[in-house]
Amino acid sequence: MWGYLLFAAFLLAVGWLLRDRQKIRDVRDKYVFITGCDTGFGNLLAKRLDRQGFRVLAGCLTQQGANTLQRADSTKLKAVLLDVTDSSSIKKTADWVRAEVGEKGLWGLVNNAGRAIPIGPTEWMTMEDYFKVLNVNLIGLMEVTLTFLPLVKKARGRVVNVASVMGRMSFAGGGYCLSKCGVESFSDSLRRDMHYFGVRVCIIEPGFFKTAVTNLEGIENDLQRLWDRLSPEVRQSYGQKYFEKYVKVQRFSMNAICDGDLSKVTDCMEHALTARHPRTRYAAGWDAKLFWIPLSYMPTILSDFMLALLLPRPSQSVC
């Protein structure tokens, strides 16, 4: 009995692996637009897709990022300035992309642009802090997607949204985890709606990686800014030692957990764009697969206990 079950499981695994490795054909006439290409995942993905023969259109926040990217690669790769928090910038970029792709449409839309800070205890935040992150990671992603969606439908292409394992559970307060949870929800509803039009929607869930968004110095400076503006009563309730330990936790996360191999994320993005049967979700990084995702499925009392081992306790804690 068990032998038959194991053999059936083996056949299913082999079948899934063979199906997962099937690729689309000629990519030389396929256009891909990527946001957030100044540095990090977007920059690396743009270069890799260009070398494979895709017609890459890269959105950069700064002119320096656009110039550097175009100098580094072939004449096929084109960069454009894009601020995903500015509706007029999104519309202008969409018009430019529409003129580039013509009747072919847009095979791939990769929503990669993002920011992490401000991040910290929830009580330290203001609504402005939330908007700084939400406007980029969630609202900007939604507006870009809705604006470019007709071009993707025309090509029956792919939408690849970068979420995070922090979209499954919140490690800290601030807009980052909240925005990534929103990306998960938005992508799920979009995936079901677009299925009927031949458009595939994929979610990338990276763990902790070393990018410009997760710059340690920037995180520490921002935590200091948040701490300095707190009222004396709030600072006293947490205590100076709490702040110092909280900074140490962030430093430990960046130095010991963060992975410097960005290709682990861009490999997932590539598969989502080139596989005949792309996956719905891609977990990238050892910490995502072995710690964060399993932790998200645990009972709340266990996941809270595990996170409590990492985070400090306020000086005036009552439990």
Domains and CATH numbers, the chain: 25-213+260-310 (3.40.50.720)
Of the two residues 287 and 95, the one the predictor is more confident about is 95
Q: Kindly report the CA angle at 243 between 238 and 246, in degrees rounded to 5?
A: 115
Distance of CA 182 to the CA centre of its chain: 12
Instruction: Please indicate, yes or no, whether the overall pTM of this predicted structure exceeds 0.85.
Output: yes
The side-by-side arrangement of strands in the sheet containing 200-206 is: 78-81, 55-60, 31-34, 108-111, 158-162, 200-206, 281-284
| Average confidence (pLDDT) over 171-187 | 93
Task: Return the closest-CA partner of residue 155 out of 198, 190, 202.
Answer: 198
| Average confidence (pLDDT) over 6-21 | 71
Task: Return the closest-CA partner of residue 177 out of 140, 242, 111, 130.
Answer: 130
Q: Residue 260's pLDDT is what? A: 82
Return the DSSP state at 211: S
Q: Residue 99's pLDDT is what? A: 95
- Quick check: is 176 catalytic? yes
The predicted-structure confidence for 57-66, as pLDDT tens digits, reads as follows: 999 999 998 8
Across-strand partners of 81? Answer: 60
* Rounded-to-integer distance, Cα 163 and Cα 187, Å: 9
Coil, strand or helix: which one is 126? coil
| Average confidence (pLDDT) over 209-228 | 82
Q: Residue 10's pLDDT is what? A: 67
Q: Residue 216's pLDDT is what? A: 67
pLDDT tier at 152 (50, 70, 90 boundaries)? very high
Query: Phi/psi zone of residue 121: left (φ > 0), alpha (ψ -120 to 50 degrees), beta?
Result: beta
Helices (H), the chain: 2-20, 40-52, 63-72, 87-101, 127-134, 141-155, 175-194, 216-229, 232-238, 240-252, 263-274, 286-287, 293-297, 300-310
Coil, strand or helix: which one is 241? helix
Q: CB 296: neighbour CB atoms within 10 A?
A: 14
Q: Kindly report the CA angle at 167 between 161 and 198, in degrees rounded to 5?
A: 30
Set 31, 176, 242, 246: catalytic member? 176
| Average confidence (pLDDT) over 55-76 | 85
| Average confidence (pLDDT) over 264-283 | 95
| Average confidence (pLDDT) over 244-264 | 83
Q: Residue 6's pLDDT is what? A: 75
Q: Give backbone dihedrals phi and psi of 32, rounded to 5 degrees, phi first.
A: -130, 130
* Rounded-to-integer distance, Cα 5 and Cα 16, Å: 16
| Average confidence (pLDDT) over 96-114 | 95
Query: Phi/psi zone of residue 193: left (φ > 0), alpha (ψ -120 to 50 degrees), beta?
Result: alpha
